[in-house]
Structure 1
């Protein structure tokens, strides 16, 4: 069993509220989040009460990430470490072990029911806003325990943030519910949107599974292209963390237009359209609507 699996087995069975660490002084708290989407959630909860460092930054692929010496130093100095879990950060077991950190490690997806893609657990749970609420609740529970003198502020931050996520969830369900059945199937570069599909009644197909490091065989790609030609899909989408070449090839061979770029596993760089979790979801929703139902997109 890998270290990350051991950590997950031990941590996931423990309530977040029972995390074993002393209360920390606000000006001393150092938090590490494994990737940009989770880091943004943590920042929304803690505000200016603590310093948050993100390992895998904007527009970077956490599936194939290679941690640096600076990452190991950040983890070593961290008081609190948040990871997604569900097998997402395949590199974090080694990073945590070799850093020598004394920080506590917390699984942000604790309490989320995972879905499976071809028998594998899909780690992209943030792609349903209802799951985003669980992430935020878990983070807030950890931080209230770690910083009890700021528990009220942390709770207020989390409540305000959750209200925004819930409102966007209601809006998303309302607009996507209007799509006709023949405008509900799309193709993306890899299987990152299973939770979004389940939450909002869409179907996502992909030539690559949940791990971007995998590559489809020529036969698998041919089967998918034949399926798309016979069944039809509404649009193709490229992703910010993957090469557009494979999706472009599918477009060339099927005649299906590329509907835009979706943000799947990472936020955008500063100045981009998806610099926060909320902005990412709003951008993805708008991009989907522009391609699937342009007359309804604002």
Structure 2
């Protein structure tokens, strides 16, 4: 399934969609954020000195997003482009090339604590065994079976650790200072103020987890987006789908997960705002688990939802987790 025609459309329409800044944005820093969580960080750091355009909006799934011509126009006109990195945004390289942007593309996970992608390591081990253990740098994508989805060496969902969110915020402040030296003191002050809110959030999450008995901390979600939350806050997450929502769970994957749920005595099961709930509802039916609510993994809610900001998202998730587990 080729995506080139869509890319050609993006390239061809760039010249037809000149970016016309408003009076406000002519003075402000023009920032493009790849998805909603990064946009929220950017607004907290930039305040009224930045205008932020979000490519993948609320409740959007960046794993499978297809860029629009307007996205290429926005990236082309940006002063700063903020992205997650770690191959989270599969569309990114094509879009940046199509936009011909001169703006720095800043990967916000740089300097954070990143976790290896367990799914990728499993495939890598399978490939090594199939090839007699021989693999050279640069050959990682060759020889993989059709149907294997490879999503990089690292888990990209780093924002699910509040410590990593602090790294994102620092990197945004650095990027804004580099692009707008006159506003640097403002950006640093905003980042420090928001950093204090993140520290308070970290304490809230730890206190909430401490109230959940250790034997009840195994839960099920749609896709493997909560590895950092698991690592940071001592909970266990199981999922039928891997790191990316792009790869669908096979019948064998689902059967193995159901077996593991019964062995590990999972306490609750949750749908996510970026995935189809059908598979989770099927697993809930087969295991007798009650769906405990909706978690926000890869995107914020819209403005009227329960997770319109990063702080609200993390509070909503831990409150929903704790409430469903303790009620089970």
Give the TM-score, by structure 2 length.
0.80
Structure 1 CA distance, aligned partners of 2:178 and 2:69?
A: 30
- Map Cα deviations across residues 43-68 of structure 1 (whole Å, 9 max, x no partner): 10000101111100000100000000
Q: Which residue of 1 aligns with 2:193?
A: 160
Q: Secondary structure at the match of 1:123?
A: coil
2-structure distance, mates of 1:164, 1:26: 31
Tell me the residue number matched to 1:10. Answer: none
Would the aligned equivalents of 1:28 and 1:50 in 2 still touch at CA under 8 Å? yes
Please tell me whether residue 286 in structure 1 is matched to residue 319 in structure 2: yes
Question: Secondary structure of the equivalent of 1:151?
Answer: helix
- Match for residue 165 of structure 2? 132
SS in 2 for 1:71: helix
Q: How many residues align?
A: 271
Q: CA deviation at 1:294?
A: 4.8
Return the alpha-carbon distance in structure 1 between the equivalents of residues 33 and 271 of structure 2.
26
After superposition, the C-alpha distances for 1:60-119 in whole angstroms (9 at most, x for unaligned) are 100000000010110011111011001100100000001111111111111012112222
Are 1:107 and 2:107 an aligned pair? yes
Whether 1:256 aligns to 2:289 is yes
Decide which structure has the larger Cα Rg and report it: 2
Are residues 1:61 and 2:29 paired?
Answer: no
Kept after mapping to 2: 8 A contact 1:26/1:50: no
Other-structure match for 2:211: 178
How many angstroms apart in 2 are the aligned matches of 1:150 and 1:177?
41
Aligned to 1:235: 268
Q: Match of 1:261, SS?
A: strand
Structure 2's unaligned 5+ residue stretches are 1-24, 122-152
d(CA) in 2 for partners of 1:235, 1:262:
12
Taking the TM superposition and a 5 Å limit, the aligned residue runs for 1:80-95 are 80-95=80-95
Residue 289 of structure 1 and its aligned partner are, at CA, apart by: 1.1
C-alpha contact 1:177 1:201 (8 A) present in aligned 2:
no
**2:28 and 2:299 mapped to 1: Cα distance?**
28
- Counterpart CA distance in 2 for 1:246 and 1:236 is 11
User: Does the 8 Å CA contact 1:192/1:210 hold for their aligned counterparts?
Assistant: yes
Using structure 1 for the length normalisation, give the TM-score.
0.88
- Provide runs of 4+ in structure 1 moved above 3 Å: none
Q: Secondary structure at the match of 2:257?
A: helix
Matched with 2:223 is 190
Deviations 1:146-168 (A, max 9, x none): 22211111111111101000111
Contact 1:26/1:147, CA 8 A, preserved across alignment: no
